[in-house]
Chain A
Amino acid sequence: MFVDYYPGATIIHRLDVRAKLVAFTALMVLLFFFTNPLYNLLLAVFSTFLLFYLGLPIRKISAILRPVAPILLFIMLITAFTYPAENFVIPAAKVVFYKKGWFEISSGGVLYGATLVLRIFNMVILSSILTCSTPLDHFLQVMKMSRLPSNVSFLIITGIRFVPTMQKKVEMVFNAQKVRGANFDEKGLFSRVKAYIPIMVPLLVQSLYMSDRLAVAMLNRGYGAAARQTSLEEISMNGLDYIFIMLFMAVTVVGIYLRVQGIGRL
């Protein structure tokens, strides 16, 4: 779900991270306003369009969706079989296709299943759009600008900064064991988990060792010298960002209005 930054020059790329976050939040809220799959389908079309607009290669998109596909199918089936018709309000949802004892397949169940599936689909796609159009750095800057204590945001930022380093270390330990004949290809969950345990130990030791060195390096760069650190953030909002924010706020208001009117229910 968390996709690497994919460089580009589209409007979405150029928008300020804050504008994107507002839009993202608005869309996420809208997803949960309506149970009628029609509305979520509309959103799905919109988000899929955006995804293509970003110019992401198809391979990447399918890599995002493939792992969630079985879950989607599973949810669809479960909801279709477990939501009886009396849970629904509108006539179209009250059609019963099959009924035996407590077991009932209704049109409402199928539709509600579709809504859930589309919700998850939208969440995956929208968060992918957000992360692949925004460099990590921008998120970090937002974090710095928020009222978080500087120590906390430094902690998070440094943590993220060292993810790739740790990944490299995992790979190296993994390789070191492979060349000494460790068997990672073995069948069976238990033996596989067992084979991975020796990787965790050196990694833990290494990270403790690294954190010690980092502490020294931080002091060495004067960490904690002044009460207030200078911040260099450069993200800035322009007209387009404000328009974008207004637009999505308006959409949200419309969404709320429709919801209150009882539209989009099943």
Chain B
Amino acid sequence: MMELTVENLSFQYNRSPELNLEEINLQVSKGEVIGVLGVTGAGKTTFMRALNGLIPQFFEGKISGKVLVQDLDTQVYRIQSLVRRVGFVFDDPETQIFGVNVKEDVAFGPCNFGLPKEEVMARIKKSLNLVGLEGYEERATENLSGGEKQRLAIAGVLAMGSEILVLDEPTAALDPLGKEAVFQIVELLKKQGMTVLLVEHETEDMAARVERVIILDHGRIVHQGETRDVFQEVPLFSKYHLRPPEVAEFGWCLYEERLISKDEVPVTEEEGVALIKRLLPMASPSTDNAVKVDKSEGKGKILQSGNAAQQEVIIEVKDLSFSYIKKQPVLKGINLQIHQGDFLALVGQNGAGKTTFCKILTKLLAADKGKVTFKGEEINKFSHVQLAKHLGYVFQNPDHQIFSSSIKEELEFGLINQGLDEAERNERIKKVLNIVKLDKPLTTHPLNLGRGERQRLAVASILVLELEALIIDEPTTGQDWQGTLNIMDLIKDLNRQGHTILIITHDMRLVAEYCNRVVVLNKGAILADETPRQLFTKPDLLKEARLRPPQISRMAHQLAEQGVPRDIIDVEELLAAVKSLKNRRGV
């Protein structure tokens, strides 16, 4: 018997203008780990909801076809019976936790089934062990980090005894450490023979962990196959607006230049390293010590940092300290100068003090010690209203900053506060909507926009104010690759027009691609302040701050013996390095 059988499944939400799922067929056998890829709106979540009966029992609509969980038809059995077999973990850690403390939350499922108390206790213990939260029983759920909350959510599902686990973008809201922990749990569960469906945008993390991949687009399965086969077919990824692992992109270029066969295209970091080692036998120091790769500055990688440094200092932070609770400093003596025209990335683990720092810059919090100046004037001398005319702050979650009932009102809010008249306001709104490429009627309610569009609206609401400096907190969280590129390109354009940009991000690939400067915050202190290229050549420092450089840089670090330069930050550079080394040796 198959664990999951999906036969000709089509579905359309009641208010949707088109089919949300179309003719889906899938069979999953016990112990399989399957990755599900697709852009936002491709139907991934809808599909997953159909697996435990949420569709059509909770989310109503027109359904045809059939879904069987083992032998249970999801249109016949209650959701409550189905969830004992299919556990579902959502992307948002906030809204799936019920208990005041950890133990109670894990118990929620088993208690709902009326299991005997001893059995419930045993299950709590077992599932907390599995997710690495043993000893957390009495902790208040409210005080857990995002990563811990997500692990708790997994434990809660495991405690119900589900044999099939559906993870819907479980790491979307997590930092790298939190992500890593979740992926480790997936591996552990795989070893224990659980069947897992993993919806994820992080293809690099997926490649080594799933056996089979399905790609969804416009509600249909457009491609499926063994992980290797799918990931080696790199053009598929651009076709469906997905981000391939850097290593596969690199391999595909080699394949196109007929340097390797298609079957040799690597899909994981290890495979990539092995491939290059094979292509480039050990370097003999005499010939290879002078390898220089043309590090093109087309993307503005390091060139600008030189320029920006000569520019006027726009924000200056001197000896800044801050603590929420006495004797537990969050920021310890920070010194930083941000120049006009900088595109600066603020990176570091959650809890390193990044958001706190930005809140102080925008006067949402007051520093305990030290001072912040904006263009030479202390920000204490500005009122909020005055500072808001120069410095903008885009928060992480668009839903926390959109508060009006139409696009127009949303964009107008700050403009009215600035005291502009109506003609000028309309002019600005028109202009900004053009920049962010949001072509919906002005009366549209923000909640009727997609997540990507809401993020753009949030950026637009600050942009419209035409400020000199912008702080943008994790602009790409929860976005698919295409959405991420759109937003980053938008920010890049702003930077070119002279806006100073500070972004908080965890995505080192974006840092490498877009920023001229990266500041590493670790335990409330600045650990490094340099170009991304310089930073990525310092593994010890990165390790201390628990940052993971882009996959391509990680690979380059392991290839020093082959003569590959350490400071490589993207696919083109590695490709150039490998090709020039290969030519030189005439291999």
Contacts and interface: CB of A to CB of B under 8 A. Distances in A.
B98 A221 contact: yes
B392 interface: yes
B400 interface: yes
A216 B95 CA distance: 9
A176 B84 contact: no
A56 interface: no
Contacts of B160: 221-222
B96 A181 contact: no
B156 interface: yes
A225 B388 contact: no
A209 B117 contact: no
Contacts of A172: 395, 397, 400-401
A8 interface: no
A210 interface: yes
A158 B99 CA distance: 8
A42 interface: no
B90 A179 contact: no
B146 to A, nearest CB: 13
Interface string A162-193: 00110001001101111111111100000000
A35 B232 CA distance: 87
Contact of A229 (B114, B384, B393, B405): B114
B101 A137 contact: yes
B145 interface: no
A55 interface: no
A198 B405 CA distance: 10
A28 interface: no
Contacts of A216: 54, 58, 90
Contact of A230 (B115, B405, B414): B115
B384 A173 contact: no
A227 B114 CA distance: 8
A160 B101 CA distance: 13
A181 B384 contact: yes
Interface size for chain B: under 10, 10 to 19, 20 to 34, or 35 or more residues?
A: 35 or more
A200 to B, nearest CB: 9
Interface string B94-112: 1110111101100111111
Closest 10 CB pairs of A and B: A226-B114, A181-B417, A181-B388, A176-B401, A202-B403, A180-B414, A225-B80, A172-B400, A217-B96, A213-B95
A137 B90 contact: no
29 contacts: A136-B100, A157-B100, A161-B142, A172-B401, A173-B400, A180-B392, A180-B417, A181-B414, A181-B417, A198-B404, A201-B403, A201-B404, A201-B405, A209-B399, A213-B95, A216-B54, A217-B95, A219-B80, A220-B52, A220-B88, A220-B157, A221-B83, A221-B157, A225-B81, A225-B112, A226-B112, A227-B114, A230-B107, A232-B117
Interface of B: 52, 54, 58, 78-81, 83-84, 87-88, 90, 92, 94-96, 98-101, 103-104, 107-117, 120-121, 141-142, 156-157, 160, 359, 362, 364, 383-385, 388-389, 391-393, 395, 397, 399-405, 413-414, 417-418, 447, 461-462, 465
Contacts of B403: 173, 176-177, 198-199, 201-202
Nearest to A202: B403
Interface in A89-144: 136-137, 140
Nearest to B86: A220
Interface string A219-258: 1111111111111100000000000000000000000000
B388 A161 contact: no
Nearest to B400: A172
Contacts of B87: 220
B112 A223 contact: yes
B389 A181 contact: yes
B112 A179 contact: no
B108 A221 contact: yes
B100 A140 contact: yes
A94 to B, nearest CB: 54
Contact of B100 (A137, A209, A220): A137
A218 interface: yes
A148 interface: no
Contact of B417 (A136, A173, A183, A217): A183
A220 B96 contact: yes
B384 A178 contact: yes
A213 B109 CA distance: 17
B416 to A, nearest CB: 9
Contacts of A206: 399
Contacts of A213: 90, 92, 95-96
Contacts of B388: 178-181
Contact of A165 (B94, B109, B115): B94
Interface in A72-98: none
Contacts of B417: 180-183
Interface residues of A, number: 51
A14 to B, nearest CB: 16
Given A185-B383, A220-B157, A222-B84, 16 more contacts: A137-B101, A172-B400, A175-B359, A176-B400, A176-B401, A178-B388, A180-B413, A181-B385, A210-B95, A218-B98, A220-B96, A222-B109, A226-B112, A229-B112, A230-B116, A230-B120
Contacts of B95: 210, 213-214, 217
Contacts of B104: 137, 232
Contacts of A199: 403
A215 interface: yes
Contacts of B117: 230, 232
Contacts of A181: 384-385, 388-389, 414, 417-418, 465
A175 B364 contact: yes
B364 A179 contact: yes
A260 interface: no
A231 B414 CA distance: 51
B379 to A, nearest CB: 13
A73 to B, nearest CB: 32
A205 interface: yes
Nearest to A161: B100
Contacts of A229: 111-112, 114
A51 B57 CA distance: 53
A81 B25 CA distance: 84
B79 A219 contact: yes
A3 B79 CA distance: 40
Contacts of A209: 399, 447
A158 B391 CA distance: 39
Nearest to B118: A230
Contacts of A231: 111
B48 to A, nearest CB: 11
Contacts of B99: 161
Contacts of B399: 202, 206, 209
Interface centre among A214, A216, A220 (most CB of B within 10 A): A220
Contact of A221 (B115, B156, B402): B156
A201 B409 CA distance: 13
Contacts of B90: 213, 216-217, 220
Given A137-B101, A219-B58, A226-B112, A179 B362 contact: yes
A228 B116 CA distance: 11
A176 B395 contact: yes
A209 B221 CA distance: 29
Contacts of A158: 98
Contacts of B101: 137
